[in-house]
């Protein structure tokens, strides 16, 4: 060992300018600007190389001794690499690159953990939404995400949020408040789009949900809507008629006409002939794409006349938005009313206006099935309508809806008595 370790702490401390060998290819290089350690060796390739082992601290003899110990340890590791057939400089390069990569990965991981969906969405809101939208819209934009996105997703790193977990939650939200679910999905899509552009997220799971949510919506439309038991409808209607909101009149009108939500809130004044007690919904607003004539009961006519009495001169829709006479009632208006009445867990607007009527009519034998289907504007009744006298068919529909209105008002027993029409030649 003495042949290798030639230097001592004192000799390192007092060494003058020049090269001083410690043995085993370790040298102390002293220059006017400072001192350092180098390890000179012949690489396996035959190339002569020199590897720096750091500065030599010589403020005190103790510091010089500690520096010598560190240099000998580094030189020892370099010799082990050479003995194993490696190149110390190449090994150190690889180790440094690996350490750098690990450090960058750790920083990225820390940044990823900080880049939660909540942080990214709020940053995007501050940078893009606030400067371009009104204060009210901007506040609603971020509030809709903060109030509806589940905490487990909202505070999750955005890079880890998957399409399936978004879909499961949004399908559930869509079943309750479809319009809100649609807006939230759109807002999440732009957030993920921006995150993907900035390298915070590797993809946009919200974009992938468009088709899946549409498929779920179609399945729901074909399925069964929660509906109030038809025997409970008269009591519900009594409660409803005691409420003065426009949404209350719209819901009552929807129930009396067995109409869809979109047909009711889109109803325009020029579609009504109140003297003839009928409402003609144009084909452009019907699901089946065909004009639909709806016979109006006495109470349904009263509702339209009451809406006309408070009509604004520029109001186009019968049931207008409470916020503006220029817009129709929102498709959330009647659902919100059901919630206020504490009935949203029992029925949907669609189920109450259509399924309850259909069940009542079928179970009580109030009319022939094709007449019931015609009142619901189902296409199955088209052939019957063509083969049967239009006047008689229309009379049966009017009689059925009049009987339904009387039942809703509690004026007749559960078993309806509807005029029976015999088939005749057209």
Is the predicted pLDDT of residue 423 greater than 80, yes or no? no
Confidence tier at 349 by pLDDT (50, 70, 90): confident
Q: What is the pLDDT of residues 142-158, one digit of tens each?
A: 998 998 899 989 988 88
Q: What is the pLDDT at residue 333? A: 86
> Which stretches does DSSP call E strand in 236-305?
272-273, 278-281, 292-295
**Mind listing the domains of the chain with CATH numbers?**
9-107 (3.30.160.390), 117-222 (1.10.150.130), 230-408 (1.10.443.10)
Distance CA 400, CA 422 (A): 15
Question: Please, which residues have CB within 8 angstroms of residue 343's CB and are 6 or more apart in sequence?
Answer: 228, 236
Q: Buried b vs exposed e over 252-291: b needs ≥16 C-beta within 10 Å?
A: bbbbbbbbbbebbbbbeeebbeeeebbbebeeebeeeeee
Q: What is the pLDDT of residues 264-292, one digit of tens each?
A: 999 999 999 999 999 999 988 887 778 88
- In whole angstroms, how far apart are CA 321 and each of 50, 161, 265? 83, 37, 9
For the segment 40-59, the average pLDDT, to the nearest whole number, is: 93
Is the predicted pLDDT of residue 1 greater than 70, yes or no? no
Confidence tier at 294 by pLDDT (50, 70, 90): very high
Is the predicted pLDDT of residue 418 greater than 50, yes or no? no
Is the predicted pLDDT of residue 382 greater than 70, yes or no? no
> Which stretches does DSSP call E strand in 104-247?
none
Is the predicted pLDDT of residue 300 greater than 90, yes or no? yes
- In whole angstroms, how far apart are CA 371 and each of 287, 350, 395, 417, 420? 18, 19, 10, 15, 11
For the segment 56-61, the average pLDDT, to the nearest whole number, is: 93
Query: 387 is written with which tokens?
Result: 């083969």
Q: Is the pTM of this model over 0.85?
A: no
Is the predicted pLDDT of residue 19 greater than 60, yes or no? yes
Q: Is residue 246 within 8 Å of residue 201, measured between CB atoms?
A: no
- In whole angstroms, how far apart are CA 33 and each of 26, 246, 326, 371? 20, 89, 84, 105
Q: What does the DSSP 8-state code read for residue 341?
A: T
Mean pLDDT of the chain: 85
Q: What does the DSSP 8-state code read for residue 381?
A: G
Nearest Cα neighbor of 298 from 405, 223, 153, 160 is 405
Confidence tier at 222 by pLDDT (50, 70, 90): very low
Q: Is residue 277 within 8 Å of residue 296, measured between CB atoms?
A: yes
For the segment 126-131, the average pLDDT, to the nearest whole number, is: 92
Is the predicted pLDDT of residue 426 greater than 50, yes or no? no
Query: 177 is written with which tokens?
Result: 């408040």
Confidence tier at 425 by pLDDT (50, 70, 90): very low
Q: What is the pLDDT of residues 159-212, one digit of tens each?
A: 888 888 888 888 888 777 777 888 888 999 999 999 989 888 888 888 878 777
Which strands, in side-by-side order, build the sheet including 48-55?
18-23, 26-31, 34-42, 48-55
Distance CA 225, CA 172 (A): 14
Question: Please, which residues have CB within 8 angstroms of residue 155's CB and are 6 or more apart in sequence?
Answer: 116, 117, 118
Is the predicted pLDDT of residue 223 greater than 60, yes or no? no
Give me the sign of the Cα torsion angle 149, 151, 154, 157. negative
Highest mean pLDDT among 32-41, 109-118, 305-314: 32-41
SS3 category, 287: coil
For the segment 368-394, the average pLDDT, to the nearest whole number, is: 65
Is the predicted pLDDT of residue 49 greater than 90, yes or no? yes
Distance CA 401, CA 396 (A): 9
Q: Is residue 137 within 8 Å of residue 187, measured between CB atoms?
A: no
Q: What is the pLDDT of residues 64-122, one digit of tens each?
A: 999 999 999 999 999 999 999 999 999 999 989 988 887 776 665 656 557 899 999 99
Q: What is the pLDDT at residue 136? A: 86
Confidence tier at 391 by pLDDT (50, 70, 90): low
Is the predicted pLDDT of residue 15 greater than 90, yes or no? yes
Radius of gyration in angstroms for the set of CA atoms belonging to the chain, rounded to a whole number? 41
User: Cα–chain-centroid distance for residue 256?
Assistant: 35
Confidence tier at 54 by pLDDT (50, 70, 90): very high
Q: What is the pLDDT at residue 352? A: 83
Distance CA 358, CA 376 (A): 8
Whole-number percent of the chain with pLDDT over 90: 46
Confidence tier at 225 by pLDDT (50, 70, 90): low
More confident: 132 or 107: 132
Is the predicted pLDDT of residue 55 greater than 70, yes or no? yes
Confidence tier at 358 by pLDDT (50, 70, 90): confident
Confidence tier at 25 by pLDDT (50, 70, 90): very high
């Amino acid at each position: 060992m003495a042949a290798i370790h030639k230097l001592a702490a004192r000799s390192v401390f007092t060494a003058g300018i020049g090269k001083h060998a410690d043995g085993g290819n370790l040298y102390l290089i002293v220059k006017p600007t400072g001192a350092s350690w180098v390890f000179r060796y012949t690489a396996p390739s035959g190339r002569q190389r020199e590897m720096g082992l750091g500065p030599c601290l010589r403020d005190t003899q103790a510091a010089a001794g500690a520096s010598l110990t560190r240099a000998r340890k580094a030189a020892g590791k370099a010799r082990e690499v050479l003995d194993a057939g490696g190149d110390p400089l190449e090994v150190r390069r690889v180790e440094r690159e690996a350490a750098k990569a690990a450090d960058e990965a750790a920083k990225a991981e820390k940044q990823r953990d900080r880049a939660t969906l909540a942080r990214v969405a709020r940053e995007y809101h501050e940078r893009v939404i606030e400067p371009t939208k009104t204060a009210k819209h901007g506040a609603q934009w971020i509030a809709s995400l903060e109030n509806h996105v589940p905490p487990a997703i909202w505070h999750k790193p955005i890079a880890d949020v998957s399409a399936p977990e978004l879909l499961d939650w949004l399908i559930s939200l869509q079943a309750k408040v479809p319009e809100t679910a649609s807006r939230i999905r759109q807002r999440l899509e732009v957030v993920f789009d921006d995150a993907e552009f900035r390298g915070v997220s590797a993809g946009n799971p919200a974009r992938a949900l468009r088709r899946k949510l549409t498929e779920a919506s179609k399945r729901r439309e074909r399925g069964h809507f929660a509906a109030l038991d038809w025997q409970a409808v008269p009591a519900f209607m009594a409660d409803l008629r005691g409420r003065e909101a426009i949404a209350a009149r719209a819901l009552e009108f929807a129930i009396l006409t067995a109409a869809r939500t979109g047909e009711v809130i889109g109803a325009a004044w020029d579609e009504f002939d109140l003297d003839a007690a009928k409402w003609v919904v144009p084909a452009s607003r019907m699901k089946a794409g065909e004009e639909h004539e709806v016979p109006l009961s006495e109470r349904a006519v009263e509702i339209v006349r009451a809406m006309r009495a408070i009509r604004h001169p520029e109001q186009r829709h019968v049931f207008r938005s409470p916020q503006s006479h220029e817009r129709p009632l929102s498709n959330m208006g009647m659902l919100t009313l059901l919630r206020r009445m504490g009935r949203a867990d029992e029925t949907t607007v669609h189920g109450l206006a259509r399924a309850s009527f259909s069940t009542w009519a079928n179970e009580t034998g109030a009319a022939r099935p094709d007449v019931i289907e015609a009142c619901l504007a189902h296409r199955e009744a088209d052939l019957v309508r063509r083969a049967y006298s239009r006047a008689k068919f229309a009379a049966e529909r009017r009689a059925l809806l009049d009987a339904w209105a009387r039942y809703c008002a509690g004026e007749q027993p559960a078993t309806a008595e509807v005029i029976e029409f015999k088939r005749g030649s057209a």
